Amino acid sequence: MGLPLRKNRVAAPPPACPLTETLTLLRGAWAPNVIWYLSACPRRFGELRHDIPRISARVLSARLRELEARGLVTRRLLDSSPPSAEYALTDLGRELLPAIDALAQVGQKLLRQWEKHPRALPAARTRASGR
Provide the residue ranges of all domains of the chain, joining segments of one domain with +.
15-92, 96-131
- 25 exposed, middle or buried (CB, 10 Å; 0-12, 13-18, 19+)? buried
- Per-residue pLDDT band for 117 (boundaries 50, 70, 90) equals confident
Q: Which of 35, 110, 126 is nearest to 72 (CA)?
A: 35
Rounded to an integer, what distance in angstroms lies between the CA atom of residue 74 and that of residue 79? 16
**pTM of the predicted protein model:** 0.75
How many other C-beta atoms lie within 10 A of the C-beta of residue 114? 17
pLDDT at position 131, please? 46
Q: What is the pLDDT of residues 39-87, one digit of tens each?
A: 999 999 999 999 999 999 999 999 999 999 999 999 999 998 888 999 9
Backbone angles phi, psi at 106, to 5 degrees: -65, -40
What is the per-residue DSSP string for 33-54?
HHHHHTSSS-EEHHHHHHHSTT
DSSP state of 30: T
**pLDDT of 129 strictly over 80:** no
Among the four given CATH numbers 2.60.120.200, 3.30.1280.10, 1.10.1040.10, 1.10.10.10, the one describing domain 15-92: 1.10.10.10
pLDDT at position 15, please? 79
Q: Across the chain, where does the E strand assignment appear? A: 43-44, 73-78, 84-89
Q: In terms of pLDDT, which residue wins out, 117 or 102?
A: 102
